[in-house]
Amino acid sequence: MTKSLRLRGAVLSLAILAVFLLTWQIATTPAKTTAPSGADREYAELMGNSATGAALANGVPTPAQFASLAWKQLSDPFYDRGPNDKGIGVQLAYSLGRVALGYAIAALIAIPLGFFIGMSPLLYAALDPYIQLLKPISPLAWMPIALYTIKDSATSAIFVIFICSVWPMLINTAFGVAGVRKDWLNVARTLEVGPLRKAFLVILPAAAPTIITGMRISMGIAWLVIVAAEMLIGGTGIGYFVWNQWNNLSLGNVIFAVLMIGVIGMLLDSLFANLQKKVTYAE
């Protein structure tokens, strides 16, 4: 039953893809090829696309053009020909590096701090107004402040990632730790379990599913924010790549980058979904 459901789901998925590709094909097939004007041809040559067809540079590519572009990008993802011409892999690596760094710093601060907040009702009451105030601020709103104080744009991007991923982790950790069942804590108390052993062997595993959920939400937000942050700071990264290709009017590359952002985001999320499955326990 479930197997056939999955199979039917897959078939339907493929059908949707086919309809989408067909629509795309119909929408992008030019009614008649018009000779590109002088300026356009010059621009196309600049982009190195004059031979393969102006459509690639000038408008939305057809599925076939897009496929060949994607293949070209994916077959050599790590080339580096100067600041404005790097492979998609290099750009993604820059973005992932920033996310990893900002996220790791956020986790290192948010999880222990969340632990203490969850354990101490006093700390919870004291810090809650600040958390509630800071949490809804768009991470990008911090950008000017970050740029002014930190002065370095690359560090500012990492700071923005940090600030956006810290809240869900902090709140979920505190919530998970505060919500550990009293019975389990009583078990630890009657067994005279020391504070460190209690923290790592009782509270941490009990709160782990909630903590990982927070980490998963944070990672999702961080990956959303990095694209916008890199559009602002420029230089490297997938966000900059998208913006640069838009300035080049290379819509094919923009679409390709957008697709890659989706794929990476999906992989990151499934990584955390797996982790979540590992720490989840049935009561």
Partner 1 sequence: MPNEVLRRSAPFLKIEGLSKRYRDDLPPVFENINFRIDRGEFVCIIGHSGCGKSTILNVVAGLEEATSGVAVIDNKEITGPGLDRGVVFQNHSLLPWLTVEQNIAFAVRSRHPDWSRQKVAEHGARFLEMVGLKGASRKKPSELSGGMKQRVGIARAFAIEPQMLLMDEPFGALDALTRGVIQDELLKICAATRQTVFMITHDVDEAILLADKIMLMSNGPHARLAEIVVNTLPRERNRETIHHDPQFYRIRNHLVDFLVRRSKLIQAAGPATGEEAPVIATPGVESGAGGDAGPRAGRVKIVARGAGSPC
Residues that bind partner 1 in the complex, under the rule CB under 8 A: 181, 183-184, 186-187, 189-193, 197, 201-202, 205-206, 208, 279, 281-283
Task: Assign 202 to helix, strand or coil.
Answer: helix
Contact 206, 133 (CB under 8 A): no
Residue number, 52 or 276, with CB nearest to partner 1: 276
Residue number, 126 or 191, with CB nearest to partner 1: 191
Residue number, 27 or 183, with CB nearest to partner 1: 183
Least distance in angstroms from the C-beta of 180 to partner 1: 11
Residue number, 202 or 238, with CB nearest to partner 1: 202
Question: Which residues lie across from 86 on neighbouring strands?
Answer: 80
Contact 160, 139 (CB under 8 A): yes
Residue 263 structure tokens: 């794929």
Least distance in angstroms from the C-beta of 193 to partner 1: 5
Residue number, 170 or 188, with CB nearest to partner 1: 188
Least distance in angstroms from the C-beta of 2 to partner 1: 22
Contact 222, 268 (CB under 8 A): no
Nearest to 138 by CA among 235, 241, 224, 242: 224
- Write down the H helix ranges in the chain: 2-28, 38-46, 55-58, 63-75, 88-119, 121-134, 143-150, 153-178, 182-190, 195-198, 204-233, 238-247, 251-279
Work out the burial of residue 29: count CB atoms within 10 Å of its CB; fewer than 13 is exposed, 13-18 middle, 19 or more buried: exposed
Least distance in angstroms from the C-beta of 283 to partner 1: 5
Least distance in angstroms from the C-beta of 274 to partner 1: 17
Q: How far apart are CA 125 and CA 120, in angstroms?
A: 9
Least distance in angstroms from the C-beta of 208 to partner 1: 8
Contact 23, 37 (CB under 8 A): no
Residue number, 130 or 281, with CB nearest to partner 1: 281
Rounded (5°) CA angle 179-184-190:
135
Residue number, 185 or 224, with CB nearest to partner 1: 185
Least distance in angstroms from the C-beta of 272 to partner 1: 18
Least distance in angstroms from the C-beta of 154 to partner 1: 40
Contact 258, 245 (CB under 8 A): no
Residue number, 188 or 254, with CB nearest to partner 1: 188
